[in-house]
């Protein structure tokens, strides 16, 4: 037996067995379908499809193509239909259990196995397109089934209006995708419209995921709200925390200041994730890792230094201004801010070269550090700017976004007590990053 056939059979079994593994974890009866049933069912599809492909004869210059013998494929498909029908009938009429998820994914296992059997990898490759598709779907099904409770909790926290807004925005995105031009000419500026459009869509998706987490953990207290909200929008999170502090009689200043630190830390971590996603070479991240460690260390240091005292569990829901990013108005505001930062960066880079990018990072960091990072990293990846400029811009934008929290607290609270506390925290965190920038500028850190 050839190694290629062995690998095909193993993969044909594995794509079904992975789904069966999750089903077996939930097994309540001995007759429930599990790893062996799912794996053998998908292997049946693989062997049936493979038998059809090896009996077919491709066309030549003198003879037409001859299709394969479909007898085994038809037989296996009929057997699969009988088994699936029997399993559904047994579950509904004998066990009286609700739901047909297991039946659906059991039938899907046969299809995934058949994809492996039909696959025709190129010479020198182990897996072709169909095998990769089968493995991807198997893994996605495993995740969907494995995180059933988490998905149900997330869906239950979404209101009807938010679902409608998400659907409307999804339709708008799908409508704009095929007609969006790659670039537009704005005087001397070639503005990458499609790239900015894709980045906006990606960041909206990330923001929506964190928005769901904020809603889920909002009643767990200011710490959860500060951390998860910081991933979505740290400025809006700190503003909401300050307004909550004022509304509750300006009590628990330690709790609110710690929550503001967590919002900053979440923002710093989020920017690092964006850098890794947009620059898989990790060249920028290797330099961002140092200020990331500095900011996290300084933030944790301030949290430890805060006066220790017993705080009762907080269950009051924090009413914040973090709206769903999939609502049309919020999405458009986000897109306008992001596009404005991108335009400013493009003009600054065109007229002032690398210094313009640094200026854009300094100014744009007050509005959206995430937007700056998402714009600068692709510019480096495409060779438009140097590594040193990209590193400076990412660190400066992140540092600016850390320091700007003092402004949001100042404009949300007329008293200065919380402002002084937040200013002390943010200045301490920002100072470490500024020292790192100074070391870069003096050439004390090699590589740039």
Residue 310: the pLDDT is: 43
Nearest-CA neighbor of 299 among 259, 333, 328? 259
Give phi and psi for 315, each to the nearest 5.
-120, 0
Q: What is the DSSP string of 129-142?
A: HHHHHHHHHHHHHH
Residue 315: the pLDDT is: 45
Looking up tokens 């938010």 gives 162
309: left (phi over 0), alpha (psi -120 to 50) or beta: beta
Overall pTM surpassing 0.85 (yes/no): no
- Tens-binned pLDDT, residue by residue, of the chain (448 aa): 577 888 889 999 999 998 888 777 766 554 567 888 899 999 999 999 998 888 876 656 666 666 778 888 899 999 999 988 888 877 766 666 666 778 888 899 999 999 999 988 877 677 888 888 899 899 888 887 877 666 666 566 666 666 676 676 677 677 777 787 877 777 666 666 776 677 667 666 666 665 666 566 655 567 777 787 788 778 878 887 888 788 778 877 888 888 888 888 889 998 998 898 888 888 899 888 888 888 888 778 777 766 554 444 444 555 545 555 555 565 666 667 667 777 777 777 677 777 888 888 888 788 778 878 888 888 888 888 888 888 999 999 999 989 988 988 888 888 888 898 888 888 888 888 888 888 888 877 776 6
Cβ partners under 8 Å of residue 43, min gap 6: 9, 12, 13, 16, 113
Nearest-CA neighbor of 368 among 388, 342, 406, 329? 342
**Distances from the Cα of 123 to the Cαs of 113, 128, 294, in angstroms?**
21, 10, 49
Q: CA geometry: angle at 410 spanning 407 and 411, to 5°?
A: 90
Residue 184, H or E segment: strand 184-186
Taken in order 107, 109, 114, 115, is the CA torsion positive or negative?
positive
Looking up tokens 């998908």 gives 42
Nearest-CA neighbor of 180 among 189, 188, 169, 192? 192
- SS3 letters across 45-110: HHHHHHHHHHCCECCCCCCCCECCCCHHHHHHHHHHHHHHHHHHHHHHHHCCCCCCHHHHHHHHHH
SS3 call for 185: strand
**Distances from the Cα of 34 to the Cαs of 86, 135, 306, in angstroms?**
16, 18, 52
**Distances from the Cα of 94 to the Cαs of 80, 91, 234, 373, in angstroms?**
20, 6, 54, 58
**Which two tokens mark 15?**
């794509």
């Amino acid at each position: 037996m050839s190694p290629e056939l062995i690998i095909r059979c193993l993969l044909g079994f594995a794509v079904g067995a992975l789904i069966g593994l999750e089903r077996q974890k939930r097994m309540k009866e001995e007759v429930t379908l599990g790893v062996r049933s799912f794996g053998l069912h998908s292997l049946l599809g693989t062997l049936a499809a493979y038998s059809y492909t090896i009996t077919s004869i491709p066309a030549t210059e003198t003879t037409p193509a001859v299709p394969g013998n479909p007898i085994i494929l038809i037989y296996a498909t009929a057997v699969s239909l009988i088994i699936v029908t029997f399993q559904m009938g047994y579950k509904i009429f004998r066990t009286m259990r609700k739901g047909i998820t297991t039946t659906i994914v059991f039938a899907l296992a046969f299809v995934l196995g058949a994809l492996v059997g039909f696959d025709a990898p190129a010479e020198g490759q182990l897996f072709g397109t169909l095998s990769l598709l089968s493995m991807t779907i198997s893994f996605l099904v495993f995740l969907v089934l494995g995180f059933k409770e988490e998905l149900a909790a997330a869906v239950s926290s979404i209101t009807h209006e938010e679902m409608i807004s998400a659907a409307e925005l999804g339709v708008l995105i799908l409508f704009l995708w095929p007609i969006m031009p790659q670039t537009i000419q704005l005087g001397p500026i070639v503005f990458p419209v499609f790239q900015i459009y894709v980045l906006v869509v990606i960041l909206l998706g990330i923001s929506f995921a964190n928005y769901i987490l904020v809603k889920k953990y909002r009643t767990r207290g200011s710490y959860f709200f500060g951390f998860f909200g910081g991933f979505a929008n740290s400025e809006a999170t700190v503003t909401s925390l300050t307004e909550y502090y004022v509304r509750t009689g300006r009590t628990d200043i330690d709790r609110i200041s710690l929550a503001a630190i967590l919002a900053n830390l979440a923002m710093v971590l989020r920017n690092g994730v964006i850098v890794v996603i947009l620059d898989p070479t990790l060249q920028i991240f290797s330099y961002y890792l140092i200020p990331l460690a500095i900011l996290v260390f300084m933030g944790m240091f301030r949290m430890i230094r805060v006066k220790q005292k017993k705080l009762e569990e907080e269950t009051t829901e924090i009413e914040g201004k973090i709206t769903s990013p999939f609502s049309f108005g919020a999405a458009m505001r986000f897109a306008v801010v992001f596009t404005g930062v991108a335009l400013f960066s493009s003009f600054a880079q065109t007229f002032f070269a690398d210094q313009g990018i640094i200026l854009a990072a300094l100014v744009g960091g007050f509005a959206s550090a995430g937007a700056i990072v998402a714009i600068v990293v692709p510019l480096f990846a495409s060779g438009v700017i140097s590594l040193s400029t990209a590193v400076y811009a990412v660190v400066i934008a992140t540092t600016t976004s850390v320091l700007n929290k003092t402004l949001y607290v100042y404009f949300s609270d007329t008293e200065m007590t919380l402002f002084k506390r937040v200013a002390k925290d943010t200045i301490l965190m920002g100072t470490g990053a500024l020292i790192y920038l100074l070391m870069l500028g003096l050439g004390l850190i090699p590589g740039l």
